[in-house]
Structures are given as C-alpha cells and as structure tokens.
Amino acid sequence: VVARHRDRLGDVEGQRALELNPRRVEAWAVIGEAQEQLGNRSDAIAAFVRVTTAKPDVGEYWYKLGRVRIDAGQAGEGVSALIRAADLGDAMSKRPPWLADAHRLAGDGLRGRGDRAGAIRHYQRYLETAPAGGINNPSRRKAVCLSSSARNA
C-alpha cells in the first residue's frame, strides 16, 4: 500500500502544482514520469503531449514522449519525437544528458523502418555524444558498423 501511494506521489505533486498555477505546464512532465513508472503509458503519453504542445522547444520533453511512445508500441510517433528531441538537443550550447540516448533510439527506430541513411546519421551523432567507454554496448557496435560501412560505400 505504501509503495502504491509513493509511486503516485509525482502525480499528486503535479496535480497540486497545476491547481496552484495552471500555467505551470512543467507539472505535466512530473505527471508523465509518474504515469510511466506506474505503467500507465497512455496517461504518460497524454501528459507529455500536453507539455510538448505548450513547450515545443524543450528537447527533454520530446525525448520522454518519444521513449514512452516506443514503449507503448507507437514506433512511428516515437521516432518522430526522438528526432525532434535530438535536433533540439544538438542545438543546445551544453550537451544534455539524454541526447546520446535520443540519437541511439532514433537510429534504432529509423533502422527498423529501413531508413539506413537516417539511422547512420543518428548513430554517428550517438557515437559523438555518448560517454566514452568502448563499444561493448550492442547499440554502439551497431552504430560503429553502420557508420564504417557508410564511409566505405
């Protein structure tokens, strides 16, 4: 019982913030994260859509929307949101911590669609933005292989 209520804390805090100041749309991001953790993907998507509609220039919100859409089986919409997130993140003066993952997930999604050129572009950016540490990660190996074959083609 305690765990169930603790999981809903983010939702309660977000709802309270919206009651106090309805223009504080960032509270929808808190609600989206709480709903995602609870496994309520459709509610999480709805919350992140509200945030990205109100704050379309915040890449982190697009990243979170894309990630939860992919988890919900909405690959097309998820990849589009991740591409938007990656583009916004690339334009930032300081590299956000979610940027490499946005490029990796966008690359995976584009590769699944058969868009090899798009996948390579995002995998190359993933390699440029991901923390150092070798290529033991399967996505890193995939990115290196695709990037290498693109240079040799």
**What pLDDT digit, counting tens, does each position of 110-153 carry?**
999 999 999 999 999 999 998 876 545 666 666 666 666 655 55
The one-letter amino acid at 59: G
Q: Are the C-beta atoms of 123 and 106 separated by less than 8 Å?
A: no
Residue 143: predicted pLDDT: 65
Task: Flag whether pLDDT at 26 surpasses 70.
Answer: yes
CA–CA separation, 84 vs 78, rounded Å? 10
**What pLDDT digit, counting tens, does each position of 62-97 carry?**
999 999 999 999 999 999 999 999 999 999 999 999
